[in-house]
Structure 1
Amino acid sequence: MKYITDINELDLNGTYTYADYLTWRFEQSIELIKGKIFKMSPAPSSEHQRVSGSFYLLIGNYLRKSACQLYHAPFDVRLLDKKKSQKANQDIYTVVQPDICIICDKSKIDSKGCVGAPDLIIEILSPGNSKKEMRTKYALYEESGVKEYWVVFPSEHVLQQYVLNENEKYELKSSFVEDEIFNAHIFPDLQIDLSEIFEEEEEF
């Protein structure tokens, strides 16, 4: 197998599969969306990491005795085209790395990550990737059947909660701000206190 060690060796307008993705060994973090390369933002800010860590600890504690599994980036999620994909590497054209995801069907988890839609995905936006998350990934997660999708705006201290309806379309269940408490839709007894999530670090 020939490995690609420089992203400039690739045609950024080309179409690639997960089989190609497995041969890439360059430093630039990327996602593959419907065969197209999307460069990810540089290393997350401390605010992004703090918010992500707070979600992970809170949800992880909730899921301790659950069959569902919690993962955070970097973690490859291979999403299947419902019409085309046969789960073979060369038939998968989308590989994303959500900030946080919950997967309740263990058959979707293998040594390389997840194949198929997680049950819940959380994306924490950075100034450089908000357009991608709000448009591209919204449509992608909806199409793939991700049951619940949270979009978090750290600088504004806002969370938007989207839930897949019976027509397999996302509905905005609600928007929540920094001092509100809400419950996950697919886990009704999972309560999130956003004042804990968005708590600012003390300055010394």
Structure 2
Amino acid sequence: MAVLNRLLTAEDLLRMPQESIRSDLTRGELIRMTPAGARHGQIAGNFLIKLGAYVAGKRMGRVFAAETGFILSRDPDTVRGPDVAFVSRERIPPEGVPEGFWPMAPDLAIEVVSPGDTAAEVETKACDYLDAGTRLVWVVNPKTQRVTEYRSLSDIRMLTVNDTLDGADVIPGFSLPLKELFE
């Protein structure tokens, strides 16, 4: 019996039964992700609380958790669920937040590096977000207590625990000392 291997679409992924294991779709291939550890969750939670409170207080848009899928490309499809994401008010359609995946990239994507992630995997994710139109990507490494900030493929900086994240033109006025993030 022949088994046909075909690339999956965002719609295929959305129709799959919800499982306890998160999945991304990378160029049509299903990538299952193991649950992250407690430290990973703590850092993502710190971002959700601090960024969420700031964005809500300023009515700037919406902040989303890791379960939220963003369609970054089509044919073949790539759907990613960053650990934390921000979509500006101006980009939210009049009918509101979609029921399914966002049909676009977030303005800000935050990825917290998991123990099993390779440097190549993390860099690929950052590039996918930027290629799809994400304006700012923060890749957080809990082990080294550093954040790699991507504004474009040619504008990348490394921040240490003594630095402060700045939302700049993506989230004006938002800043977060990395010491607070890693506490």
| TM value normalised by structure 1 | 0.77
Distance 2:110 2:121 in 1: 10
- 2:32 is matched with 39
Distance 1:177 1:131 in 2: 18
| TM value normalised by structure 2 | 0.85
Distance 1:187 1:123 in 2: 17
Distance 2:80 2:130 in 1: 14
Q: 1:195 aligns with which of 164, 175, 179?
A: 179
- Compared CA separation, residues 132 and 71, structure 1 to 2 (3 A): farther
- 1:3 is matched with none
> Contact (CA 8 Å) 1:123, 1:133: kept in 2 or not?
no
Aligned sequence identity (%): 26
- After superposition, the C-alpha distances for 1:133-152 in whole angstroms (9 at most, x for unaligned) are 42321221121011000000
Give the CA deviation at 1:37.
Answer: 1.6
> Contact (CA 8 Å) 1:142, 1:170: kept in 2 or not?
no
Distance 2:149 2:172 in 1: 13
The letter of the residue matching 2:130 is E
> Contact (CA 8 Å) 1:177, 1:194: kept in 2 or not?
yes
Distance 2:172 2:10 in 1: 35
Q: Name which one, 1 or 2, has greater alpha-carbon Rg.
A: 1
Gaps of 5+ in 2: none
* Count of residues paired in the alignment: 174
Alignment of 1:16-165 (within 5 A): 16-25=8-17, 27=19, 28-40=21-33, 42-64=34-56, 65-81=58-74, 93-104=77-88, 105-107=91-93, 109-131=97-119, 133-164=121-152
Give the CA deviation at 1:109.
Answer: 3.2
Distance 1:68 1:179 in 2: 28
Give the CA deviation at 1:19.
Answer: 2.2
The letter of the residue matching 1:149 is V
> Contact (CA 8 Å) 2:14, 2:100: kept in 1 or not?
no
Q: Secondary structure at the match of 1:110?
A: coil
- Compared CA separation, residues 55 and 133, structure 1 to 2 (3 A): farther
Alignment of 1:161-200 (within 5 A): 161-164=149-152, 169-172=153-156, 174-185=157-168, 186-199=170-183
Gaps of 5+ in 1: 1-9, 82-90, 200-204
